[in-house]
Every structure is written in C-alpha cells, then in structure tokens.
Amino acid sequence: MNISPLADPQVRDQLLSDPDRILEDAELMRALVGAADGMRGGNVVDMRGLAMERLEARLDRLEDTHRNVIAAAYENLAGTNMVHRAILALLEHDSFDGFLEALAGPVGDTLRVDGMKLILETAGDRSTAHLGDLERTLGLAEKGWVSLFAGLARGGAPRRVTLRQVDGGDPDIHGPKAAAIRSEACLTLDLGEGRLPGMLVLGAEDPQQFAPGQGTDLLGFFAGVLERALRRFLT
C-alpha cells in the first residue's frame, strides 16, 4: 500500500507552518509547475508558465549582473587601497635616494609588479654609473624618448597612462626580468615648466595585469602624485 509523503503528519506540519520554504526553493517550484503542466495535456499552451520562464531568465540575468557589479566594486576598492598604500610609502622619504629605494622596494611590492624603472629625459650627461644599485631603478634618456617609448612619433604628446601587452620587455628597462615581461604600464610624468618629461615604466609577467581597455584612473592619480613628489628633488 502506497502512502503519500504528505500523509506523514510531521511533513505536513512543517510545510503548513513554513510554506515559504516551497516558494523559496526554485527547483521545487519548477518541479511543481512542471507537474501541473503535465496534467493539462500537450495541446494546451500555458501562457502563465511561459511568462514565468521569461521572468525567471530575466531574474537570473539580473542576479549575474548584480554579482558582477559587486565583484567590480570590491576589485576597484582593493585597487584604490593598493595605490594609496603605494603613495604613502613613496611620500615617507625626504631624500632622492630614499625616494628611489622606495620605488624599487615597498612601492613595487605594493603595486605587485615584476619590474619598475623611472626614466628621466635629459639634454646633458646620461651616465648613471655613479648611482650604484639605484641604477636599476633610475635611467636617463635623450629628449623625445618618452614619446617614442609610448609608441608615438617624435614630438607627439603621449597619453597620461599607456597600457599594453608585450612579448618580452626592453632589457634596458627591465634588466634580467625583461624576457618574462608580458604587459607594461607607461606613466608619463610632467616634471614642471622648463623641464623635460619623465616616465615610470611598470612591468608584469601577467599579460592581463596591464591590458588595453582597462581603466587608468588610479594609475593616472599615482602618476600625478609621483611627478609632484619628484619636482621637490629636481633643480
């Protein structure tokens, strides 16, 4: 003798005391609706059921969008905090040597990059041998280098931030890690009236870390702070 599960007093009591359990279970509701559709026969079109399916599909899309928006917001917040920490580490130093050491150490670590070099254009001597270990962080280049490295013709005005994917970086920029570099962020620096520009080049082994089409607001803000901090040390 078959006994319906709903004949069980305990099951009935649970459902009657909390019917929202059924309404909140999407799979159970679909099963109930499907059972009701099967009782109507194959030649009956259930417009209500079709409307519910469309609403359900729209709800799924809205939930996906909601999750994506929340994930993007958290990612943006994490990026903002990361740039702020890098700026604070940069501003702690009052000497140029300390400034460069911060770039090579805590700033690069905070920004999670695999290579970083500051390039300053100069019309004079471009030798950096006297810098010792700091030479890996600072380089001097001829006038017009910034525009050329950013991929523009000589004399052009490079964008504030240029993001690109590369098949290996420039050894003069990234040193021994150059072959592993797969993406770059080039931050153009305005060092003030009467001074030639500079550029901070960030390199990453991840090809997606700096890709065209990504937002550049945070890196642009970082470049603005960096150039203003640099002006204190330039005469």
Both tokens assigned to 205: 């082994």
Classify residue 61 as exposed, middle or buried by CB count within 10 Å of its CB (0-12, 13-18, 19+).
exposed
16: in domain: no
Overall domain count for the chain: 1
Q: What integer pLDDT is reported at residue 27 of this predicted model? A: 73
Q: Where residue 211 sits, what CATH number does that domain have?
A: 3.30.450.40
Q: Please provide the average confidence, as pLDDT, over all residues in the chain.
A: 80
Q: What is the pLDDT of residue 104?
A: 83
Cα–Cα distance measured from residue 89 to residue 86, given in angstroms and rounded to the nearest whole number = 5
Indicate if the pLDDT at residue 72 is higher than 80.
no
> Which of 61-65, 91-95, 221-225 is predicted most confidently?
221-225
| 193 belongs to a structural domain | yes
Residue 185 covered by a domain: yes
Q: Has residue 63 been placed in a domain?
A: no
Residue 145 reports pLDDT greater than 80: yes
- Look at residue 158 and tell me if it is in a domain: yes
Section 6-11 average pLDDT: 70
Q: Which domain holds residue 101?
A: 94-231
Residue 52: is its pLDDT beyond 80?
A: no
Residue 153 lies in a domain: yes
pTM over 0.85: no
Q: What's the whole-number mean pLDDT along residues 65-79?
A: 73
Beta strands at 161-165 and 138-141: parallel, antiparallel or unpaired? unpaired
Residue 60 confidence (pLDDT) above 90:
no
In a domain, 81, yes or no: no
Residue 75 lies in a domain: no
Q: Tell me which of 128-132, 165-169, 206-210 is least confident.
A: 128-132
Element (H, E) at 220: helix 217-231
Which residue stretches of 7-129 are H helix? 9-17, 20-24, 26-40, 47-91, 96-102, 108-111
For the cut 70, the answer to whether the pLDDT of residue 7 exceeds it is: no
Q: Name the 3-class secondary structure at 69.
A: helix
